């Protein structure tokens, strides 16, 4: 059964269209929802949880339908399938870690004893065992994020929707959070939709990625496929009168992405390119190639290419 299926989902807020005609079919597993701020990621997460309906279009999360005339019971079932970690600070001041997470469990419909038992369990799993009787507002940023993750896990849902889970964390805190999320997927079989504007987060955790920008899906595939679409790039440094050489290799399909005007270039090469061709053209024009080093497009650059076309 697919994790998520969406058919032409559109969401408007007044005259503004936050999501436009989104059609997706995503398998269970760890999926990155990647896009710049304002792309529509949070809107999509809210639709997937049944918090807001689509303006038009239909969809499913596992065996629960979205949209249409969902009854209250349907939305309730959907919320039991899903644990949600919001981006905004959702911690309740004055509560200890255990109280906060058990309260979330009770809100999901768990009996109090069961909710408390699970709260201890998930807090220990998320490395908050020592801190569980301290007030959540005294937690460090990393601990707060883990407490938010704990409340998403308390009812043991098969699906986790995580909105910018590394937001506000230092590098060590980020690594810890990403490691925990990945383990939830791999060791505990959770399906994860990780919404983020950070490609490195997706690379660290996810098998698949959906790129959204301006309310539309701009690309999707496995993280491995995305990496394979990276352009082959080189840094070239030449000496001599290079204008004819430049024109020759341009004619052969080389594209210039950087040029300092003094014979230092960053270029992309066409598929099947052999580096020997650089040297043959250089020879023919009496130009010396001083340096030729591989400098492939970063995933960040690839991502920018995807969202800007
Ligand atoms: N309730 C609302 N009323 C009006 N506009 C809204 C509402 N919710 C979201 N929007 C608009 O929809 C667009 C997409 O917002 P959304 O929060 O889904 O983006 P996002 O990708 O999650 O970005 P961010 O990471 O900044 O939250 C934004 O331009 C936002 O201003």
Q: What is the pLDDT of residues 32-77, one digit of tens each?
A: 999 888 899 999 999 999 889 999 999 999 999 987 666 778 888 8
Indicate the top mutation candidate among 12, 13, 87 to test ligand 1's pocket, ranked by most ligand atoms within 8 A of CB: 13
pLDDT (tens digit, 9 = 90+) per residue, 278-289? 999 999 999 999
Residue 297 is predicted with a pLDDT of: 74
Quick one: which of 34, 36, 33 has its CA closest to 48? 33
Calculate mean pLDDT across residues 72-83. 86
pTM for the model? 0.81
Q: What is the SS3 assignment for 99-123?
A: HHHHHHHHHCCCCHHHHHHHHHHHH
User: What spacing in Å lies between the alpha carbon of 213 and ligand 1's midpoint?
Assistant: 11
Quick one: which of 4, 20, 1, 23 has its CA closest to 65? 4
Assembly ipTM: 0.92
Q: Which residue, by CA, sits nearest to atom 25 of ligand 1? A: 37
The answer to whether the beta carbons of residues 97 and 149 sit under 8 Å apart is no
Q: Which ligand 1 atom is nearest residue 52's CA?
A: 1
Q: Which residue, by CA, sits nearest to atom 2 of ligand 1? A: 13
- Using DSSP bridges, classify how beta strands 255-259 and 264-268 pair: parallel, antiparallel or unpaired: antiparallel
Round to whole Å and give the CA distance between 12 and 262.
51
Instruction: Give the CATH superfamily of 4-25+39-184.
Output: P-loop containing nucleotide triphosphate hydrolases (3.40.50.300)
> What are the boundaries of each domain within the chain?
4-25+39-184, 233-308
Residue 68 is predicted with a pLDDT of: 65
- Using DSSP bridges, classify how beta strands 30-34 and 191-196 pair: parallel, antiparallel or unpaired: parallel
Tokens coding 112 = 């109090």
Q: Which residue, by CA, sits nearest to atom 10 of ligand 1? A: 18
What is the CA 68 to chain-centroid distance, rounded?
28
Q: Which residue, by CA, sits nearest to atom 17 of ligand 1? A: 42
The answer to whether the beta carbons of residues 56 and 70 sit under 8 Å apart is no
Report the topology of domain 233-308: Alpha-Beta Plaits (3.30.70)
Q: Which residue, by CA, sits nearest to atom 28 of ligand 1? A: 38
* CB-neighbour burial class of residue 228 (10 A; exposed 0-12, middle 13-18, buried 19+): exposed
Round to whole Å and give the CA distance between 50 and 70.
9
52 in ligand 1 pocket by Cβ < 6 Å?
no
Same fold, 4-25+39-184 and 233-308: no
307 in ligand 1 pocket by Cβ < 6 Å?
no
Contacts of 242 (CB under 8 A, 6+ apart): 263, 285, 287
Helices and strands, counts by H and E, the chain = 11, 14
Residues of the chain above pLDDT 70, percent: 97
94 in ligand 1 pocket by Cβ < 6 Å?
no
Residue 307 has pLDDT above 70, yes or no: no
Residue 24 has pLDDT above 70, yes or no: yes
């Amino acid at each position: 059964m697919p994790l998520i299926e969406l058919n032409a989902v559109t969401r408007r807020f007044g005259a503004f269209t936050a999501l436009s005609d989104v059609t997706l079919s995503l398998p269970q597993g760890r999926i990155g929802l990647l896009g710049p701020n304002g792309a529509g990621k949070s809107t999509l997460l809210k639709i997937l949880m049944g918090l807001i309906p689509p303006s038009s279009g239909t969809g499913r999360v596992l065996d629960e339908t979205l949209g249409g005339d969902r009854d209250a019971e349907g939305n309730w079932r959907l919320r039991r399938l899903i644990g949600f970690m919001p981006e905004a600070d959702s911690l309740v001041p004055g509560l200890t870690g255990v109280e906060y997470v058990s309260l979330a469990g009770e809100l999901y419909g768990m009996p109090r004893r069961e909710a408390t038992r699970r709260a201890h369990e998930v807090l220990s799993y998320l490395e908050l065992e020592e801190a569980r009787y301290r007030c959540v507002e005294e937690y460090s940023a990393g601990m707060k994020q883990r407490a938010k993750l704990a409340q998403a896990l308390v009812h043991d849902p098969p699906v986790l929707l995580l909105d910018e889970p590394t937001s506000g964390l230092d590098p060590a805190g980020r690594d810890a959070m990403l490691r925990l999320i990945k383990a939830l997927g791999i060791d505990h079989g959770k399906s994860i939709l990780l919404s983020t504007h950070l490609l490195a987060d997706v690379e660290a955790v996810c098998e698949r990625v959906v790129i959204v920008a301006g309310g539309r899906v701009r690309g999707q595939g496995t993280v491995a496929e995305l990496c394979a679409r990276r352009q082959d790039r080189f840094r070239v440094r030449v000496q001599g009168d290079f204008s004819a050489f430049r024109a020759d290799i341009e004619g052969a399909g080389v594209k210039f992405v950087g040029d300092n005007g003094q014979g230092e270039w960053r270029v992309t090469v066409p598929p099947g390119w052999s580096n020997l061709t650089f040297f043959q053209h250089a020879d023919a024009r009496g130009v010396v190639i001083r340096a030729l080093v591989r400098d492939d497009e970063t995933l960040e650059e690839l991502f920018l290419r995807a969202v800007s076309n």
